[in-house]
Homo-oligomer: A and B are copies of this chain.
Amino acid sequence: MAFMNRRDISFILYELLDAGQLARFPFYHEHSRENFEAILDVAEEIAREKFYPHNAKGDQQEPVLVNGKVAIIPEVGEALAAFGEAGFFAATQDGDRDGIQLPFLISQAAMAFFLAANPGTSGYAFLTIAAANLLATFGSEEQKAAFLPSMLSGRFFGTMALTEAGAGSSLADITTVAEPAGDGQYRIKGNKVFISGGEHELAENIVHMVLARIKGAPAGVKGISLFIVPRYRLNGDGSRGEENDVALSGLIHKMGYRGTTSTMLNFGENDRCIGYLVGKPHNGLPQMFHMMNEARIGVGMCATAIGYAGYLYSLDYARNRPQGRSPANRDAGSKQVMIIEHADVRRMLLMQKAAVEGALSLVLYVALLADLHKASTDEAERRNTGMLLDILTPVVKAWPAEFCLEANNQAIQILGGYGFTREYPVEQYYRDNRLNAIHEGTNGIQALDLLGRKLTMHDGAALSLLCVEIGKTISQASGESSLNEWATELAAALNLVKQTTGVLLAAREKVEPELFLANASLYLQMFGHLVVAWMWLRQAQAATRQLPAATESGADFYQGKMQACRYFFRWELPKIRHQAKLLSSLDDSCHAMRDNWF
């Protein structure tokens, strides 16, 4: 059973994003489309052979405590070993750190296969890579030497330990304390919750990246520091030493995403938990956000991949499940048709296709921006891609989390009663994907980030730049008869979003901040639909370029892109008009609602 569409990945990488262009930068000069393909071959094979087969089992037999240890089905460790042996933990790292300087774009394309095959097992890899990147960016040479090689080979795994019971979305309120213990060491004391991969026996050690306050630090986010807190300390020779007083206080049982164990951890119950400060004191939040921004792209990819797996499953089902007849056929004795023959089933498939392929193109586009930002030798290009990356990060996290979940909802509906049973994978996809609107900053937090911060940063330069980029696509597409109608629609949508944004930003000076931000989530939805419509027009452009020379089956693929674009422009994009109207009126229905009226 296909869980990811390699053809679509290739289309987006090469026909849409011209991934080969990255070879022009010194950092990526050893790469080429050929070796990208070889890497994706490996990813696809490992995902299919080692990740996909135990996706349901990992859900049904979630991690449990056995004699004080977290027991996980053996397939998880085997899959991650294969992932590590193929070099995926280290792939994006510098060559001098056993990496191959793989573009983030290609690593994300590879992750699409792993995440679609098995998000629960992939979670451990995702977290380890994120922790390693954080360490690689901000750690001292000594810290890197001690921990990175083991993390990049998959011997040590990593976590992100931010959340506390009293401080979920509000990191300003974390209370975990770090007390200087001399020699650059700190004694860590506090409790963390929702720590994914926080305890297990999959790796020799677990490297927790912990946010805590150094005693006497300022209140709020300005007093947060970042620490490396290993489960086991390291001996002088780098081998695993004694336990570091990090205690599991409980496993959290979730609705989905069960394969990735979620834990409550007590640091320093016995005052013996040692942490190593990363970088300067009180600099933890910006450091963590460096990781967080990358993780938000990863969450967008996860949502997309699970949505994609559900789409492909329900597509296959619709092609093979006979049921009913065409409305014109009154002969009850005639053969039933496959349900894909019903327009309403095609509607549910087309909705999914528009969502998951739109999301995939967006996530990979943003991943490309990260590469350009990192590797470009042109300062203006670095600055511009950095700004686009910043403004699109809330979108790339939230849009797939919302709409690819809705895609999974439609996948269940296509399977009908069967879709509601645990004999078919689509209900698990729906449960797994529900997490993505919550973690790494809820979608509501993304909305506040976009409207409250990203729009106005650098005097609105990021927004202007994005509008210029969208405008370029519009003017290119306007000259093409097959695209002209959508170019006009996108131009109208762009103007509407600009106008609405102008109204909001003007009001910002006059109204209380609560009212200005009250409808941020609606703004994010509107903005996201604009961006995804842009992605669809770009995909239609690429399809239009390729169609004349395509073979018959190749033409089917491109026709599918054209039709999904059409669907998005007709069924989805016009929804922003109503949203823009509500936003422009500074509608206060939610803001004015009072607690005691509920």
| Contacts from A to B (Cβ < 8 Å) | 163, 166-170, 172-173, 193-194, 218-222, 252-257, 262, 315, 319, 322-328, 332-333, 336, 340, 342-347, 349-350, 353, 409, 412-413, 416-417, 419-423, 427, 430-431, 434-435, 437-439, 442-444, 447-448, 452, 512-521, 553, 556-557, 559-560, 563, 566-567, 570-571, 574-575, 577-578, 581-582, 587, 589-598
Contacts and interface: CB of A to CB of B under 8 A. Distances in A.
Given A340-B595, A575-B578, A420 B589 contact: no
Contacts of A591: 343, 346
Contacts of A435: 420
B344 A520 contact: yes
B254 A421 contact: yes
Given A168-B417, A349-B593, A571-B582, 19 more contacts: A173-B323, A218-B332, A219-B333, A252-B423, A340-B595, A346-B590, A347-B519, A347-B590, A350-B589, A412-B434, A413-B444, A431-B431, A553-B596, A556-B596, A559-B597, A560-B598, A567-B589, A574-B578, A575-B575
Contacts of A517: 327, 343
A513 B328 contact: yes
Given A350-B590, A589-B563, A443 B413 contact: yes
B590 A513 contact: no
A327 B443 contact: no
B168 A422 contact: no
B343 A518 contact: yes
Given A353-B598, A430-B434, A589-B570, A417 B163 contact: yes
A571 B342 CA distance: 32
Report which residue of A346, A421, A519, A593 has the largest number of chain B beta carbons within 10 angstroms of its beta carbon: A593
A403 to B, nearest CB: 13
A421 B252 contact: yes
A417 B434 contact: no
Contacts of A344: 444, 447-448, 518, 520-521, 590
A572 to B, nearest CB: 10
Contact of A420 (B255, B422, B430, B570): B255
Contact of A194 (B194, B325, B417, B427): B417
A453 to B, nearest CB: 11
A591 B353 CA distance: 15
Contacts of A319: 595
Nearest to A578: B574
30 contacts: A168-B416, A168-B417, A169-B323, A169-B324, A172-B332, A222-B332, A253-B421, A254-B422, A255-B420, A255-B422, A255-B430, A256-B420, A326-B513, A327-B513, A327-B516, A327-B517, A343-B519, A343-B590, A343-B591, A350-B589, A412-B438, A413-B443, A417-B438, A419-B438, A557-B597, A559-B594, A563-B592, A563-B593, A566-B589, A575-B578
Contacts of A557: 597
Nearest to A60: B253
Contact of A315 (B169, B431, B598): B598
A593 B590 CA distance: 39
Nearest to A218: B332
A571 B593 CA distance: 14
A47 to B, nearest CB: 22
A256 to B, nearest CB: 8
Q: Which of A435, A438, A556 has the most CB of B within 10 A?
A: A438
Nearest to A405: B409
A347 B517 CA distance: 12
Contact of A327 (B325, B514, B597): B514
